[in-house]
Structure 1
Amino acid sequence: MTRPPTVQRRRTATLAALATLPLLLAACSTGNEEPTTGEAGEPADECVIGMTQINQTAAFFTQMNEGAQEAADEAGCELQIANANNDAAKQNSDIENFVSQGVTGLIVVAIDVNGVLPAVEQATGQGIRAVAIDAELEEGAVDTFVGVDNEAAGEEAGQWVIDEGLADGASYGIVDARSSFIQNQREDSFRAIVEDNGATFTQAVDGENVQEQAATAAQDLITAQPDLDFVYTTGEPATVGAVAALDPGSDTKVIGWDLTAEVIAGIDSGLVTAVVQQDPKQEGVEAVNELAALLDGAEPAGFIDVPITIVTEDNVDPYREIFQ
């Protein structure tokens, strides 16, 4: 498939260099050792990857899993995926289980970037190489971050609104997910730039990163604020929920994150004006490939940028096949 033009952005993170424990000592580790991320090590005997996923209902995450599985099959790695089902405590427990099972690599799609750190540190302290996808953990917590700069992408979406002349004098509300660190980043940076350029914020409602709740929250928002010019949505459930809540002929438009078949139908009807589209499948591929390289003794990349595309009616066609 030919991919649409993408927007390249910023930095490669510099991770702290710490001495790597030989993996053969992992079995007798006390769990109190310093994390081993940040430096090349001896090749591992096997590639067994545990992946802790936020949920397996959103298409964004299922595509990420698909890419990870394809890359694992190609690399000859065993991939185990644990579904945290939006529960940060379960995510920590899943990571602890992976450590007990003796995985050699860990992929973290964090619900709570701070709350997940103790479990991640336990894993890296036992010589397990670690990669974070989508949500960036604190510097040095993992070998490599794979994904987008969510703060910069939120600002980029806001700049698109400004460039299209949709900010000045506009009133808008937000359907967000308060428990999601990265969605908060997308919201804060978007708000800052559009409000500096004439847009008026009215209200934010919490969709809880679940489509049904997001649809109800969006409906409540529209009922309370019927004259909004647009609704900004910070993730797939919020975007799908807003599309479900709004009439296709509504004067209130949707600007948000992550395509689905329903959202593409919203673009076709004119309800959805623009969508920030990531490439979750490629994020899964890159994460597994990075872990396979690390387990083969390579230096960590630190940051692997998987760029975004702002999708509108002008460039949506290449995505139709993906989201049938």
Structure 2
Amino acid sequence: MTKPAGGKSGSGGPRLGMKEIARRAGVAPMTVSRALANPEKVSPETRARIMEVIEREGFIRNQLASSMSSLRSRRSIIGTMVPPLINSGIAEQVQGMTDACHEAGYQLLLIQGDFDEQAEDRAIRSLLGWQPAGLILQAFVQSPAARHLLAAGDYAVVEISEIQGREPIDMAVGVSNFDTAYAMTVHLVDRGYRRIGFVSTPMHGNDRLQQRRIGYQAALADRGHLYPQSLEIEVPITPQGGAEALTALVERDTALDVVFCSSDTLAIGAVQECHRRGWKIPERLAIAGYGDMDLAAQLFPRLTTVRVPRYDMGRQAVEQLLRRLKGETDVPRITPIGFEIIDREST
């Protein structure tokens, strides 16, 4: 059985049930059900017609109808969408969320999203199909269709993300990634470094990484330093990516004296590449990271990095959501979480 979730459709009226979706698509209700459950059994033309009606009307499939029928079961779920790669930072956030949910008697339903609007939209619709009490989305929602769906449906939503630059759908918990990267870059300049490279994972659709780059650039500009694009590079979020980025930046600028990586994973790869080359850190080249993962303090030399309390961020997101669900009216729209520059031997 499939039925619409609560709230309003994109046109402002009640969401349509399967029978009405079928009528508007000119097919039988069974065909709609088959298109959702076994799309390969429906012709591409018919499936496209059905999906056009579903997308237009904001239809959400109720995943709970066949497996969890009680209202208590439905309302004990908090849904969350995580990025495609669960690195140590995201894992800490999820652990904080899990612990807070468990203590409050809720279950955390996790679905993997992506930095692509269509994939994000599908993941959010899938989460809503389970009719959760609320949602925690670990990035600002990029998809206009998903943002409209969530706002029109009056869902309780916390976005764990950059806390400036965009208005949250409902609530946001996070840090200013601009401020964190600005602070680290200023720290490096104040330590005497002049040619500061910036290594990031792909920024498309990732508001946090975009703000880190802007913060890096703004700090250099404010301190009177040029930031040629040749000193910026995007690579996959792997240690190998960090090693390859270091190699490329040194080839571009032999005067490079420090590399600021947007994640500790990249910084670890850069450190290892220096060791392979026999370069002393920080005498030949200094390296800074972001995240303060456990390994950062165990490297040789120990890694200078930005510490963000990821676990606390996850807990805070759940706590803010639960306050909203209880009907509290003084829940802050934006909750900033602090950060710290951890100065170690790599710089």
TM-score normalised by the shorter chain: which range applies?
A: 0.7 to 0.9
Structure 2 residues not aligned, in runs of 5+: 14-70
- Counterpart CA distance in 2 for 1:146 and 1:28 is 24
Distance 1:93 1:292, change over 3 A: same
Distance 1:245 1:33, change over 3 A: farther
Partner of 1:276: 306
- Counterpart CA distance in 2 for 1:192 and 1:71 is 37
1:88-136 per-position Cα deviation (integer Å, ceiling 9, x unaligned): 53222110111222122111112xx463342133123223110110234
Which structure ranks higher in relative contact order (CA pairs < 8 Å, sequence separation ≥ 6)?
A: 1
Structure with greater proportional helix content? 2
Partner of 1:130: 157
5 Å-filtered alignment, 1:112-191, equals 113=140, 115-136=142-163, 140-164=167-191, 166-167=192-193, 170-177=194-201, 178-179=203-204, 180-191=206-217
- Counterpart CA distance in 1 for 2:289 and 2:184 is 8
Distance 1:195 1:138, change over 3 A: closer
Structure 1 residues not aligned, in runs of 5+: 1-24, 35-43, 315-324
TM-score (norm 2): 0.70
3-state SS of paired residue (1:72): helix
- Counterpart CA distance in 1 for 2:306 and 2:156 is 31
3-state SS of paired residue (1:27): coil
Shift of residue 28 of structure 1?
A: 6.3
1:234 aligned to 262, 274, 278, which one? 262
- Counterpart CA distance in 1 for 2:124 and 2:164 is 15
- 1:50 equivalent to 2:85? Answer no
- 1:103 equivalent to 2:132? Answer yes
1:216 aligned to 244, 250, 254, which one? 244
Partner of 1:83: 112
- 1:305 equivalent to 2:336? Answer yes
3-state SS of paired residue (2:289): strand
Shift of residue 26 of structure 1?
A: 4.8
Aligned partner letter, 1:182: R
5 Å-filtered alignment, 1:201-212, equals 201=227, 202-212=230-240
Aligned partner letter, 1:235: S
Shift of residue 242 of structure 1?
A: 2.5
3-state SS of paired residue (2:260): strand
Partner of 1:30: 9
- Coordinate RMSD, CA, aligned: 2.8
1:9-60 per-position Cα deviation (integer Å, ceiling 9, x unaligned): xxxxxxxxxxxxxxxx9536324449xxxxxxxxx97242111111343100
Q: Is the 8 A contact 1:145 1:302 kept in 2?
A: yes
- Counterpart CA distance in 1 for 2:221 and 2:165 is 29
1:192-214 per-position Cα deviation (integer Å, ceiling 9, x unaligned): 22344254434211024454434
- Which region of structure 1 is more displaced relative to structure 2, 113-122 or 60-69? 113-122
Instruction: Report the number of matched residues.
Output: 273
3-state SS of paired residue (1:95): helix
Larger radius of gyration: 2
Partner of 1:254: 287
- Which region of structure 1 is more displaced relative to structure 2, 217-226 or 299-308? 217-226
TM-score (norm 1): 0.74
